[in-house]
Chain A
C-alpha cells in the first residue's frame, strides 16, 4: 500500500493465540514495558522458562503510520494513539494536584516506551545519597557504583546515542552510538550560552543515530512522542520480541487480578483475559507494571496475612509517589528557528544539577527543537483554507523558540497511590487513586530554572510569550517511589536487590523502587535496575 493508511482502518491485533498458563514456569513477569521486557529477555537468555503477563494488547508494528495520524489530527486525544480505554484504565485524583494518568502511560506490549520521548540519562552520583549529600529525602541502599555496570549494559541493550557530558557521572566507555548533531536552534542558543558561560552538551537519546540492533536509524518523522513509525526510537517491544525468540511466552490482554501467596512466597498470579480467567504458577515473580499499577496490584492482593496489601508490612506500598516537574519558557525570535523538523532534543545542560541542597532540588535544562506549533497541526485547526490558511501558517510557524527543564520532587507522605474503593474498572477492581502533592523545594527550584531560562532567552533577544513556572507546572509522566527500596524492612518495600522484604520470591523492576527521583528521565535507570533484577532472580531460582 502506498501513502498514508488511515487511522480508522487499524484492526485490533488478535494477540496471543493461547492465553492459558505456561507449565513449569520458572519466572512470571507482570508487565511488558521496558523493565519487564529486559528482565524476560535476560532470563530467557539464561535458559529460564519465562512467561510475561501484559494487561494491554499487542500492537501491530505496521499500524504505526496510521497511529501517527492520530497523533497529528486534533480530533484524537493523546490517549487515543495507543487505544487507551477510559473504562479499563479508569482512575481517580484525590490529591491537590491533578494528574492526567492516561496521558502519562500507554498500556500494551511495549508499555509507556511506546509513547515516550526517549531521553536516557544516568542519575548523578549524589542522587543516590540525597540525605547524606543534600540533607533532604532519603539515601538509596545502593550507590552509583553498584549500578554503573548495569547502566553501561542498559545503554547497549536499548541503543543510546550520546556524547560527552562534562557534568555527568563517571563512565567507562562512550555510548554505543554517536550523538545526534546539534540543531540549528542549538546554534542560536549556543551564542547566548557562551555569553552567560553556560555549557551545552548532547542529550543521550534512545533512538538510533545510525542503524543499530537491526533497527533503522532515525528518519525524522517528527512524532517521536507519541509514536515512532520507523522503529528508530527504542521501545519495550524490542526486548519482548527478543525474549520470545529465546523461548519466553508473552500473553497480552492478560490483566493480573491478584497475586496468590502464603506468608513468604507468591504462589500464583490470577489473570483475566478475553478467553477467561487463569492462574499462572511460577517459582519467582517479577512485578514490572510501573509506578501506579505495581502498588495497586499489591494493594489488591491483600489477605489475612497482609491486611494492608501484599508485601506491605512497612506500609510503604503506594506511598511517596513522585514525578518530575516541568519548568519551561518560550517565545519568538526575529529570525527563523527551524523548529519541528524532528521530535527529539539534541542539547541540554546539567551545569546546575549538582548545586542541589536542602533548599534547591537538582534540575536540568533543555533546549527545544520543537517549540511552537507544527505546520500540519496548525493547518488542521482553524477556520480558513486556501491562501488564507497558508498565510496564517507562514505567520505562525518558524520563529518560535523554547527551553524546558526537569526538577526533582522529594518523596512526601501526602503524595501516594491508593485505591478508590468507590470506583471499579472493567474487571470490578477498585481503580487507582493518584494523590499527588508537591512541596516547596520543587517549586522554588522551578523558579530558579525559570530565572536561568529567562536569562538565556533575554540574551538571545527572545520575546518571551509563555512560562511554565511554579503555578503552571505539570508532571513529566515519570511515576516513581511507590514501592521504595530500603535497607531496613520497616522503611520500604524492596531491598537493595529489589526483592520484596516480605516475600522471598518477588522482585520489583520499576521506577516504583526509586527512593528519590533525581531530575533525570528515569527509563535508563529502570533498565539498569531491570538487568540487575534479572541477575538476582537468575541467581535465586
Chain B
C-alpha cells in the first residue's frame, strides 16, 4: 500500500489551506528554525526513515517521502526536535558500538536487531528515561503515530477514518462493504 502526501498531511488537512500549502511546496527549511546548530536534522531524517522501514509493515511503499513530510512539523520547534535528536543519537551510538556503523547504514535485519537488543520492543515509551524508553517514544512510537493516524494506516486495519485523522462524518455511517 502506498503512502501519499495526503497521509503525511492528514492531521492538519481539516484545519485550513495553510497547512496543505506548506506541504505542497516541499519540506521545511531545516535551517530556518530557532534551534541549536548542533542538531543534525539530516541525520535525524535518515535515521527515522531507516527505523520506519523496520517498524512499518513490509508492503508499505513511499516511506521516505511520508516520514520526511511528517518530520517537517515535528522538527520545526525546539523541545521535541532536541529530544528526537537525543534519542536518535542514542540509537546511532548503540548501532556504532555493536555493529560498527550508524543505524541508517545497517541492513534492515540488523536495524531490527539493534532495536530489540536495546529492548525498545518491550520498553515503556517515556519522554525522559533510559535510551530504550526514549527511543520507544521518540523514534518507534513517533513513527507508529504518524502511520496509524493516517488514512493509509487506517485502511491497513479496516478503517478509512482512524482516530486522529479528520476523515469526515461519512465513513462511520457506511457498512464494511460500502
Binding site for B on A (CB under 8 A): 1-9, 65, 68-69, 72-75, 180-185, 187, 209, 216-223, 229-230, 335-336, 338, 340-343, 369, 374-380, 383-387, 389-390, 393-394, 397-398
Contact = CB atoms under 8 A, between A and B. Distances in A.
A2 B172 contact: no
B164 interface: yes
A402 to B, nearest CB: 15
A398 B12 contact: no
Interface stretch (B90-98, B99-107, B148-156): B148-156
Contact of B169 (A74, A75, A218, A386): A218
Given A4-B11, A336-B176, A69 B166 contact: no
Contacts of B168: 219-220
B167 A338 contact: no
B78 to A, nearest CB: 7
Given A2-B20, A221-B14, A385 B140 contact: yes
Given A8-B83, A74-B125, A387-B58, A398 B158 contact: yes
B74 A6 contact: yes
A209 B167 CA distance: 14
Interface in B1-40: 8-9, 11-12, 14-15, 19-20, 22-23, 28
B62 interface: no
Contacts, number: 215
Given A75-B127, A184-B172, A376 B76 contact: no
B54 A4 contact: no
B44 interface: no
Given A74-B125, A220-B161, A223-B163, A2 B57 contact: no
A339 B87 CA distance: 35
- The listed residue with most B CB atoms (<10 A of its CB), out of A229, A379, A390, is A379
Nearest to A216: B14
Nearest to B7: A3
For the residues of B in contact with A, the DSSP-based class is: helix
5 contacts: A218-B169, A229-B14, A341-B171, A375-B148, A379-B153
Contact of B172 (A229, A230, A342, A387): A342
B57 A387 contact: yes
B161 A341 contact: yes
Contacts of B124: 75
Nearest to B146: A4
A221 B9 CA distance: 14
B73 A394 contact: no
A3 B172 contact: no
A341 B172 contact: yes
A383 B120 CA distance: 8
B79 A9 contact: yes
Nearest to A188: B175
B75 to A, nearest CB: 9
Given A9-B78, A75-B127, A398-B158, A376 B145 contact: yes
A374 B77 contact: no
Contacts of A336: 158, 175-176
A75 B19 CA distance: 27
B80 A380 contact: no
Given A3-B9, A394-B157, 10 more contacts: A2-B19, A3-B19, A65-B12, A219-B14, A338-B172, A338-B176, A340-B163, A342-B172, A376-B153, A380-B148
Pick the 3 closest A-B CB pairs, nearest first.
A3-B73, A9-B77, A341-B172
A78 to B, nearest CB: 15
Contacts of A221: 14, 163-166
Interface in B30-85: 54-58, 69-70, 72-74, 76-80, 83
Interface of B: 8-9, 11-12, 14-15, 19-20, 22-23, 28, 54-58, 69-70, 72-74, 76-80, 83, 112, 115, 121-122, 124-127, 137, 140-141, 144-149, 153-154, 156-169, 171-176
A379 B80 contact: no
For the residues of A in contact with B, the DSSP-based class is: loop
Given A8-B80, A220-B167, A223-B163, A3 B74 contact: yes
A343 B163 contact: yes
Given A3-B11, A3-B23, A380 B144 contact: yes
Nearest to A399: B158
A355 to B, nearest CB: 31
A380 B144 CA distance: 7
A248 B167 CA distance: 37
B173 A184 contact: yes
B73 to A, nearest CB: 3
Contacts of A4: 11-12, 70, 73-74, 145-146, 149
Contacts of A220: 161, 165-169, 171-172
B69 A2 contact: yes
A376 B22 contact: no
Contacts of A386: 54-58, 112
Nearest to A184: B175
A510 B57 CA distance: 51
B171 to A, nearest CB: 5
A303 B147 CA distance: 59
Contacts of B153: 375-376, 379
B12 A9 contact: no
Nearest to B154: A375
A377 B163 contact: yes
Contacts of A69: 145
- The listed residue with most B CB atoms (<10 A of its CB), out of A216, A369, A378, A389, is A389
Contact of A379 (B14, B112, B144, B174): B144
A65 B74 CA distance: 12
A385 B144 contact: yes
A338 B69 contact: no
Nearest to A217: B169
B103 to A, nearest CB: 15
A5 B77 contact: yes
Nearest to B147: A379
Given A3-B74, A375-B159, A380-B145, A8 B79 contact: yes
